[in-house]
Amino acid sequence: MAPIPLPRRRAGARPVAVLVAALCLSACAPAVRPPAFTPREEVPLAGLPTGQAGWPEAAWWKRYGDAQLNRVVDMAMRGSPNLEQAEARYRAAQRAVDSQKAELNPQVRGLLSGTHGYSDVTLQGEVPGGVGTAQRIQLSPGHSWSNSGAAGALATWDLDLWGKQKDAVSAAVGQARAAEAERASAATSLQYNVVNTYFDWQAQQARLAVARHVVHSADDYRSLVELRVKHGLDDPTNLDQADAQLAQQRGNVAQLEGAAQLDLVQLAALAGVSPADLGPLNPVPLPTPDVQLPPDARLGLLARRPDIAAARWQIEASSKNIDQARKAYYPDVSLTGLGAFLRTYPDLGSGTRTDLALASVGPSIQLPIFSGGRLLAQVESAQAQLDTAVAQYDGAVVQAAGDVAQGVATLQMLDARRTQQDRQYDATVAQQQKAGDRRSKGLIDDRDWLRADMQVDQQRDARLQLTSQLLSANLSLIHALGGGYHADDLPALPATAAAKETTR
């Protein structure tokens, strides 16, 4: 009986069986677990009063209408070393994205080589025969020179059937977006520090004007006391007290001048220039601090703070790294093409040559069968990075909430103090006016009026300090709310998505 031939389709079933076996092995990839920390969906703040909408705006410092301030901020934005470093990190992250995208494209590698060789062959041996009859021979065909050349090209294309390389691209994009947000964070911090330092310098200038007036009044007061002591109308100890008072006021002037100079040095450092290159800065009146608060900060804070946006993108990148690590269990399928040509002249001058041409193209499948725990370690490492990114995100949200809450409380406290300070200043001015009236009527001498005038200057200085504190608190709240930064394309948090991935 003739054997029954096997069906022809059985021969083509082997690649299918191999692919099925590969998919079964890839099913051993560990499931994605949710992060160890739960990302916060909103900032834990409540009870903030409503106020201006859309605050702060992007170029928020321009609302003060100070051309000097605008010039200094622009100078700092152009020459800050910190901003240049953040910009360099962002450019590096963008190039990393380009590098990962390039891995999706086919690539062709060429080979071109040539050799020139020399050979000298000598063959020695014995011809087999009977005992004692073996003959020793030696062949020496001589030396020869040879040339050979080869040219070839290898083309490969990873088909990325499972999207592992696309996940690597997404992870790189997440890192780039995080670097972009970090660049914005550096910019907002720079703007805040420049504006805050500039207004502190303006406050020092205003206080210096008051302090110099106090020195003038104290000097007049000392002259009056000296005159009275000289004529025996006052105790000499009064002159000592007047000297001490004058020295104290002059010390205050020196302290304020030093603080103002330090502000200029800090401004120059922030701008990356020397103090002389800052250009002329003239004293201008301090702006009225804005104590109005933005609408409920919980709703927009997650998109306003660049550090929160950077942390959110770090979570996105870590999630994609997990996907990439899991897909390392899947087989790599690629197309490979090879073409080569070899020509050899084994003996130069003999006219002989050997040519070899070859070409091939076809798929290639690589599957990890035993990795010694390497792939699992990569997945666990990616999971740990995700847990770290979520923890950092939660920390950034809590820190942001604390910054805003502290800024709001500080503003409210200083605003309440300003009301009382204004009343105290008005009362002191009223006393000065009454002292002036009594002085014009001859009821008191100039010493009492000068004391009243110096008390007004003291209250004026206290008002300036409080205004400076209010302005600084207002700037701090602007910075806590992102300094005009706003992102409307943040990725979703991974808690729900990770839970879905466990079904893979």
Average pLDDT estimate for 8-16: 48
Closest CA to 224 of 451, 455, 432: 451
- The helix (H) or strand (E) run that includes residue 140 is strand 135-158
pLDDT in the model for residue 39 = 73
Report the C-alpha gap between 174 and 318 in whole angstroms: 8
Residue 299 Cα distances to 45, 177, 395, 474, angstroms: 10, 22, 18, 20
Closest CA to 35 of 405, 502, 477: 502
Average pLDDT estimate for 315-331: 90
- Name 154's bridge partners: 109, 338
pLDDT tens string 25-83: 555 677 777 777 677 665 544 333 333 444 467 788 998 999 999 999 999 998 888 88
Percentage, residues of the chain above pLDDT 90: 36
Q: Do residues 179 and 93 touch, judged by C-beta distance below 8 A? A: yes
Report the C-alpha gap between 281 and 66 in whole angstroms: 11
pLDDT tens string 199-234: 999 999 999 999 999 999 999 999 989 988 888 888
Summary mean pLDDT of the chain: 82
Please give the residue that has the higher pLDDT: either 29 or 148.
148
Enter the pTM of the model: 0.76
Closest CA to 323 of 93, 27, 29: 29
Q: Do residues 31 and 382 touch, judged by C-beta distance below 8 A? A: no
Report the C-alpha gap between 220 and 243 in whole angstroms: 11
The H-assigned helical ranges of 231-305 are: 236-271, 297-304
pLDDT in the model for residue 217 = 92
Position 126, amino acid? E
pLDDT in the model for residue 169 = 92
Report the C-alpha gap between 479 and 477 in whole angstroms: 5
pLDDT in the model for residue 257 = 96
Q: Do residues 388 and 322 touch, judged by C-beta distance below 8 A? A: no
Look-up: residue for tokens 């062949």?
139
At what angle are helices 164-230 and 67-79 packed, to 10 degrees?
Answer: 130
Q: Is the pLDDT of residue 9 over 70?
A: no
What CATH number is given for 42-102+168-320+376-501 in this structure?
Answer: 1.20.1600.10
Domain boundaries, the chain: 42-102+168-320+376-501, 103-116+143-159+332-366
Q: Quick check: helix, strand or coil at residue 447?
A: helix
| Cα pseudo-dihedral 69, 73, 78, 84, rounded to 10 | 160
Q: Do residues 464 and 206 touch, judged by C-beta distance below 8 A? A: yes
Q: Do residues 199 and 472 touch, judged by C-beta distance below 8 A? A: yes
Closest CA to 217 of 485, 447, 20: 447
pLDDT tens string 432-445: 898 888 888 888 78
pLDDT tens string 465-499: 999 999 999 899 888 888 876 666 777 776 544 44
Position 350, amino acid? S
Lowest mean pLDDT among 47-61, 85-99, 179-193: 47-61
Look-up: residue for tokens 């009977």?
130
56 cis-preceded (ω within 30 degrees of 0): yes
Query: What's the CATH number of domain 103-116+143-159+332-366, 2.20.200, 3.90.380, 2.40.128, 1.10.101?
Result: 2.20.200
